[in-house]
């Protein structure tokens, strides 16, 4: 990496300090989760505050030409909502007589979707900018007495770049769907083995047998009433699964999400003209991101239909290349979602604990590679016509 010239760094307690136009001019608006409207909306609707353990501390770099780079960053007092699990690290710090929290995290809150993290003004020196960002982060962390800094779900090229800069890299696995130029859902299923194809078609038929119909809405087609309904589904499902009402407030769904326009897609399931469940997606120019699901009660196979099959249908219809349905879920493999690696990078202030984390991440990477290879053997696709 080259050396920075005339670059200054600042950590902002709110995106109030940067206009939407200035922020989006650097990040672009294709990746929805970096848009000022999304990140600032999380703050305004009470999702990312010091009280929730997500205190905004956004990194902003400037040079003589103005705003150079930005990165969403938070002071964290816990590890919830990150999807890169480090509870064992916190225990290790405690056993060593040290405090793990607060820590510094650069991530999209509650969103385990790989994408850009440090957005750099077009034409700027990437190496010099990253050098300046890393130095600013290290200095800030030491001044504040923070245990560590964590960059979650960066692109592979960035994860590798930061290894060269001395950071640790963790790997994990998600399951994504890739569009091979399919003309229809049946065209996609044609590549399955006969048994798996019949099983999936049976799941879709089961939804209809229960009297359920699904409808897809995009952008301003989604009414205020539908946003309220979806928030109710989201709350109920989180309460059943986790004992709380979810990370996102009602205002996030009614005020922030609608501002993203056609980058938001909602699928609602109806029983006798009454909405009973829903799935929420976001999209970029080439990728669909499945994010949230909720229902008032369970129906056979409805989760698969609303969260997976409707997303695949949407990608085929609109020519999107990839469908990222979110974290975890080995059940996705038999439905045609391929195992793919994800990454995170970690800077640890204490040299002794940094060495231990390095040993852990190297061992974990070997296990994850073996898991990826094993999971790929479970895909439903046939090798030859059956």
The pLDDT tens digits for 229-286 are 999 999 999 888 777 778 999 999 999 999 999 999 999 999 999 999 999 999 999 9
Residue 122 scores a pLDDT above 80: yes
Residue 131 phi, psi dihedral angles, 5° rounding: -60, -45
What would the pLDDT profile of 298-322 be if each residue is shown by its tens digit? 999 999 999 999 999 999 999 999 9
What would the pLDDT profile of 9-48 be if each residue is shown by its tens digit? 999 999 999 999 999 999 999 999 999 999 999 999 999 9
Q: What is the mean pLDDT of residues 150-177?
A: 97
Q: What sign for the dihedral angle of Cα 249, 289, 39, 223?
A: negative
Mean pLDDT score across all residues of the chain: 95
Residue 1 scores a pLDDT above 80: no
- Residue 240: what pLDDT? 84
What the block records as the tokens of 352 is 């002794």
Residue 328 scores a pLDDT above 90: no
Residue 348 scores a pLDDT above 90: yes
Q: pTM for the full model?
A: 0.95
What would the pLDDT profile of 233-245 be if each residue is shown by its tens digit? 999 998 887 777 7
Residue 4 scores a pLDDT above 60: no
- Residue 242: what pLDDT? 76
Look at strands 103-106 and 148-152 and give their pairing: parallel
Q: What is the mean pLDDT of residues 193-207?
A: 97
- Residue 87: what pLDDT? 95
Task: Kindly state the percentage of the chain with pLDDT values over 90.
Answer: 94
- Residue 386: what pLDDT? 41
Residue 385 scores a pLDDT above 50: no
Residue 191 scores a pLDDT above 80: yes
What the block records as the tokens of 67 is 């705003």
Q: Which residues contact 381 (CB under 8 A, 6 or more apart)?
A: 191, 192, 193, 336
- Residue 14: what pLDDT? 98
* Confidence category of residue 5, pLDDT binned at 50, 70, 90: low
User: Quick one: three-class SS letters along the chain?
Assistant: CCCCCCCEEEEECCHHHCCHHHHHHHHCCCCHHHCHHHHHHHHHCCCCCHHHCEEECEEEEEECCEEEEEECEEEECCCCCCCCCCHHHHHHHHHCCCCCCCEEEECCCCCCCCCCCCEECCCCCHHHHHHHHHHHHHHHHHHHCCCEEEEECCCHHHHHHHHHCCCEEEEEEEEEEECCCCCCHHHHHCCECHHHHHHHHHHHHHHHHCCEEEEEEEHHHCCHHHHHHHHHHHHHHHHHHHCCCCCCCHHHHHHHHHHHHHHEEEEEEEECCEEEEEEEEEECCCEEEEEEEEECCCCCCHHHHHHHHHHHHHHHHHCCCEEECCCCCHHHHHHCCEEEEEEEEEEECCHHHHHHHHHHHHHHHHHHHHHHHHHHCCCCECCCCC
What the block records as the tokens of 36 is 């000022």
Q: Which strands make up the sheet holding 264-271, listed edge to edge?
A: 54-56, 73-76, 103-106, 148-152, 338-348, 168-178, 322-324, 287-295, 274-283, 264-271, 212-218
* Confidence category of residue 126, pLDDT binned at 50, 70, 90: very high
């Amino acid at each position: 990496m080259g050396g920075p010239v005339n670059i200054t760094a600042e950590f902002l307690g709110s995106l109030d300090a940067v206009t939407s136009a200035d922020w989006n001019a650097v990040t672009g608006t294709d990746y929805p989760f970096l848009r000022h409207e999304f990140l600032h909306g999380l703050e305004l609707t009470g999702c990312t505050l010091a009280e929730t353990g997500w205190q905004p501390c956004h990194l902003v770099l400037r040079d003589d030409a103005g705003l150079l780079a930005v990165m969403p960053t938070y002071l964290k007092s816990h590890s919830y909502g990150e999807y890169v699990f480090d509870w064992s690290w916190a225990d290790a710090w405690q056993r060593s007589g040290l405090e793990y929290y607060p820590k510094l995290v650069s991530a999209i809150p509650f969103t385990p979707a790989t994408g850009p993290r440090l957005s750099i003004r077009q034409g700027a020196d990437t190496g010099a900018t990253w050098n300046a960002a890393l130095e600013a982060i290290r200095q800030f962390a030491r001044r504040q007495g923070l245990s560590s800094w964590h960059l979650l779900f960066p692109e592979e090229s960035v994860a590798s770049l930061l290894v060269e800069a001395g950071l640790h890299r963790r790997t994990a696995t998600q399951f994504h769907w890739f569009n091979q130029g399919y003309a229809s859902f049946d065209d996609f299923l044609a590549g399955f083995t006969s048994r798996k194809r019949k099983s999936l078609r049976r799941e879709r038929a089961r939804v209809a047998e229960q009297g359920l119909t699904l409808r897809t809405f995009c952008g301003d087609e989604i009414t205020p009433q539908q946003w309220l309904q979806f928030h109710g589904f989201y709350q109920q499902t989180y309460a059943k699964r986790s004992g709380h009402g979810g990370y996102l407030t009602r205002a996030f769904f009614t005020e922030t999400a609608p501002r993203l326009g056609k980058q938001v897609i909602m699928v609602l399931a109806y029983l006798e003209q009454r909405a009973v469940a829903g799935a929420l997606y976001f999209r970029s120019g080439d990728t669909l991101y499945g994010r949230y699901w909720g229902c008032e009660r369970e129906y056979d196979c409805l989760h698969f239909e609303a969260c997976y099959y409707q997303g695949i249908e949407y990608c085929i219809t609109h020519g999107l290349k990839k469908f990222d349905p979110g974290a975890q879920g080995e059940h996705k493999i038999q439905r045609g979602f391929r195992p793919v690696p994800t990454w995170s990078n970690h800077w640890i202030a204490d040299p002794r604990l940094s060495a231990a984390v390095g040993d852990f991440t190297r061992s974990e990477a070997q296990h994850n590679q073996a898991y990826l290879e094993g999971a790929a053997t479970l895909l439903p696709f046939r090798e030859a016509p059956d």
